[in-house]
Structure 1
Amino acid sequence: MRVSPQIHLVASGNVGFSLTDKFDCNAWLIETGDGLVLFDAGAGRDIASIFAELTTNGLDPADIKHIFLTHAHADHSGGVAPILDQLSRPVTLYAGEEAAARMQSHDETRISLDTARRFGVYPESYRWQGATVDTVLADDAVIHIGEASIRLLKTPGHSADHCSYLVTLSGKTMLVSGDALFAGGTVFLQDIPDCSFTATIATVRRLSNLTFDMFLPGHGAFALKEGMRHVRRAADFAERGLAPPNFGG
């Protein structure tokens, strides 16, 4: 799904637009003028559907040169290993420090997949693979790729390893928020060991100090302009000492 001249939604599951496998997150792809950049990679159960979405939009999957992860939960990172296996050219994988450690551990318990299975989120048959992260990014690190400037922001709360990306491209700034924040100023608190209300509120406050045009979350609706209104709504709750509404609640 092309959402602007250089931005595409190439994966989205049942908690979104049902473009690809039902367990996939929203995976965003940008054209930089120096290869394609993918943000998150879906659950990995049906990479062919993601590649078909690229092809439908006139893009060649072989032109994916970079993958940035927001966090290591299976619906965001499970597609990394299968994508890397299927592409014939080298792809650079980026992640924050904690997400990189979880990916490289290949340990499903570190991404709470055991808990998600117990709650029936994933079938017992689902298996996740980690991957080696080529470039581990510290907070506020900036990467320049073609026309794009990509800044990592630590945004824990949904999980301890969570990061978002502030991307500038062709005069527009977009927040790729992963699961840190969703449309309507909602958040995603859940019963896993490293989900934190306190960290979520700190993340909302941090994001409210940014300026951006487009809002590209990890599930559900997105915004191509006035994206800051979603952060402001969450910040209104935070400033009253309250949790913003829970996503899907």
Structure 2
Amino acid sequence: MTTIEDIDKEKLPRHLAIIMDGNGRWAKERGKLRVFGHENGVKTVRSTVENCVKLGLEYLTLYTFSTENWNRPKLEVDTLMRLLVSSLRKELKTFNKNNVRLNTIGNIASLPQKAQKELEETILKTQKNTGLTLTLALSYGSREELTNAMKQIAIKVKNNIISPENIDETIINTHLYTQNLPDVDLLIRTSGEHRISNFLLWQIAYAELYFIDVFWPNFNEHHLAEAIKNYQNRERRFGKTSEQLN
């Protein structure tokens, strides 16, 4: 069984992103409400962050709450927002102890005021940390992100701030929520689903994708290690041939 001690620290993905899927189905299997799954999913977030710190990863982005998740039952949405606030309060000390810097992407203004305030305070109190950058994607949707970026660029073109012929990948990147993050190297999705679900569509252009048939509350150190080990055994060509790389 692979552990994080088995990982080659010289070949780590710089930016790991995870679609944390399966909380509701995990709870349903146990005859519980979906919120029970989300509560246990928070424990997996904590252990995953700790393992990423041990590995020495630079960036971890978690798909925490999507723009589409607002359509879920009110009880579930309210519980997720409550868990967000309580988790941030509980984890602040641990973040600072482990040199973790908190970051967020998404339409943060759409979150409840209490959640916004807790996020702002935690980001402020961890901003000087220099270890793992933990990004929570909240009220996030990649299509909305790209649409907003195009609107911003269009306004600048209209006001003669940007010339249309100068629009390139760099210009687009600087108008995304993730402008201060590198592209994703490895994307993991739990629960056995094989979809991207509107997550970081631009940023995963050359990411390695890893799907695992394990619900998020059951995801552990060994699953993380196996995913990274699998990543390290792949040849990343970025459009080139194997011969060119060698």
TM norm structure 1: 0.33
- More relative contact order in 1 or in 2 (CA 8 Å, sep 6+)? 2
TM norm structure 2: 0.33
Structure showing greater radius of gyration is 2
Higher strand share: 1
